[in-house]
Structure 1
Amino acid sequence: MYYQVLGKKNADAETVVLSSGLGGTGSFWQPQLTMLAAHFRVVVYDQHGTGVSQGTVPAGYRMEDMADELAGMLNELDISRCHLVGHALGGIIGLHLALRYPALLQSLVVINGWTKLDSQTRRCFEVRQNLLLNSGVDAYVQAQPLFLYPGDWLSANDALLQKERRHQVAHFQGMENLLHRLQALMESDLTASLGQVITPTLAFSCKDDLLVPWSRSVDLASRLPHGEHTQMLYGGHAMSVTDPETFNPILLDWLRRHSSSSSATPSGHLPTETSWPKH
């Protein structure tokens, strides 16, 4: 898989790995890279079958496969311990990674994730899937921002969205790859397994997320032995893109609190819930 390593070069620098959502490409994290690279070694990558990571995603592909692929990449990079920050699908990868390779993760941030698929998220995925199958790639890409961003942000950033639309159509991951990755995500159900996750985990939601109801993050945090929940009030599903001024300090605070130099250690469930206003 294609990856970039940014930021701190010293041997004792802690590593933060960034894992994107259904789009799969590391470019999603552009608003966070400068901030994180000032404090950590940062690994950002294109998931198998997306972006520069060419390849065919087979039928029967599972979230466990995505976790194994990431673990293999980190092993090649000689990274045996890291923080993982995952958005939606990327966060589900992180949860599977925590179950399969518990010693690997120092902490985990799951942004707009879930335990099992909610009816609202399923509805949105089915609409997008039908658009792709019946109307084609351009229609799928054109509709995608509706599920990711707040209406006022869409209105104010039309020129950027038109540019992104052209880029995404030109570099589309392929219909079969996307459908197989989407099927893996929709079939993932961690309900019976989350009690085994020993990694300190932040379930990070956004109040106005259309795609994944914020209540799914509350549910996720409540099922984790060392789970916390925090929430932004504005920004939509991709609030790390729409409001990084609010998002970035929250993320940095979590990573600092769970660095090896911090004395803070989890002790039982931490039902912390904080709402953060838009700046």
Structure 2
Amino acid sequence: MRLNYEATGPADTPVVLLGPSLGATTAMWAPQLEVLSQRFRVVAFDHRGHGKSEVPTGPYTIDDLGGDVIELLDGLEVEQASYVGISLGGAVGLWLAQNAPERFHRFVLLCPPANPAANAQMWTDRAAQVRAEGTKSITDATLGRWFLPEFADLAPVRQMLLDTPDEGYAACCEALGSTNLLPGLADITAPVLLITTDSDTSIPPETVVPLATQIPGAHLEIIENAAHLVTYSHPVVINPLLLTHLG
């Protein structure tokens, strides 16, 4: 499985992978790239079914999505990296922390869904809707969950959603609908920074906050006056947290 990726920053510095949200691409990390690439070799990738990555027929599983990241590391000949993931990318990060701990130094997981299978029918229904009506049918509702009403610069993010292949989006919904990462949280050994927001209706903070007591040594930050796609809307707050945790 070939994932599209974009690498920036000095080749001789530690590698940081950036795993995006459902319906997003490498472009969602624009507010982070300049800052992070001054200190790290930054590899932003598109999940399977998204952006310029291949679009196999679904459904996908979290094992598929996590395995793609390991394959990407292998292809880049990178033995160890740190990982930053948001939303779907956060779920993939939890999987990687549990299933490939030897490949990662540190994790930053923003608004991660740890047990989306608890709402399996919602994901099944959304996958069916997108296959039938396209991502345009869920774009306005998604943007309403991703940002608070006062955030105005929606055009680039709207286009990302509209450009996402329908099958890729739907198949990743199905991956989330079959994922429960709670049983393995206590086995995570890497340092983890968890970030949630006070106004996230996609992955409500009450589902993220408890993870900080279930993942050994995890640190929790709750961002105020922010919704789901907090990396894009609040980089002035998020970027210093990333730099501090990633070292």
- TM-score, L = length of structure 2: 0.90
Mapped to 1, the partners of 2:131 and 2:21 lie a distance apart of: 20
Letter in 2 for 1:187: S
Cα distance, 1:162 vs structure 2? 4.1
* Preserved contact between residue 123 and residue 176 of structure 2 (Cα < 8 Å): no
1:16 and 2:16 aligned = yes
1:103 and 2:102 aligned = yes
1:186 and 2:177 aligned = yes
Structure with the larger RCO, 1 or 2 (CA within 8 Å, 6+ apart): 2
Q: In structure 2, do the counterparts of structure 1 residues 189 and 9 end up closer, same or farther at CA, with 3 Å as the change threshold?
A: same
Mapped to 1, the partners of 2:193 and 2:160 lie a distance apart of: 32
Greater C-alpha Rg: 1
SS of alignment partner, residue 50 of structure 1: coil
Match of 1:165 in 2: 158
Mapped to 2, the partners of 1:167 and 1:103 lie a distance apart of: 33
Which blocks of at least 5 consecutive residues in structure 2 are unaligned?
none
After superposition, what is the alpha-carbon deviation per residue over 1:127-180, rounded to whole angstroms, capped at 9, x for unaligned?
Answer: 755653565432222322011000111xxx2xx4345435542x2212x32222
Cα distance, 1:245 vs structure 2? 0.9
Match of 1:265 in 2: none
Cα distance, 1:87 vs structure 2? 0.3
Mapped to 2, the partners of 1:48 and 1:114 lie a distance apart of: 18
Match of 1:40 in 2: 40
Q: In structure 2, do the counterparts of structure 1 residues 4 and 191 end up closer, same or farther at CA, with 3 Å as the change threshold?
A: same
Q: Aligned pairs, how many?
A: 245
Match of 1:7 in 2: 9
Q: In structure 2, do the counterparts of structure 1 residues 122 and 246 end up closer, same or farther at CA, with 3 Å as the change threshold?
A: farther
Mapped to 1, the partners of 2:65 and 2:156 lie a distance apart of: 29
Cα distance, 1:55 vs structure 2? 2.4
* Preserved contact between residue 25 and residue 160 of structure 2 (Cα < 8 Å): no
SS of alignment partner, residue 192 of structure 1: helix
Cα distance, 1:80 vs structure 2? 0.8
SS of alignment partner, residue 30 of structure 2: helix
Letter in 2 for 1:85: V
Mapped to 1, the partners of 2:123 and 2:111 lie a distance apart of: 15
SS of alignment partner, residue 53 of structure 2: coil
Q: In structure 2, do the counterparts of structure 1 residues 162 and 122 end up closer, same or farther at CA, with 3 Å as the change threshold?
A: farther
Q: In structure 2, do the counterparts of structure 1 residues 136 and 50 end up closer, same or farther at CA, with 3 Å as the change threshold?
A: closer
Match of 1:209 in 2: 200
Cα distance, 1:225 vs structure 2? 1.6
Q: In structure 2, do the counterparts of structure 1 residues 137 and 4 end up closer, same or farther at CA, with 3 Å as the change threshold?
A: closer
After superposition, what is the alpha-carbon deviation per residue over 1:78-124, rounded to whole angstroms, capped at 9, x for unaligned?
Answer: 111111000011111111112221111100111001331387x7797
Match of 2:217 in 1: 226
Match of 2:72 in 1: 73
Q: CA RMSD for the aligned pairs?
A: 2.2
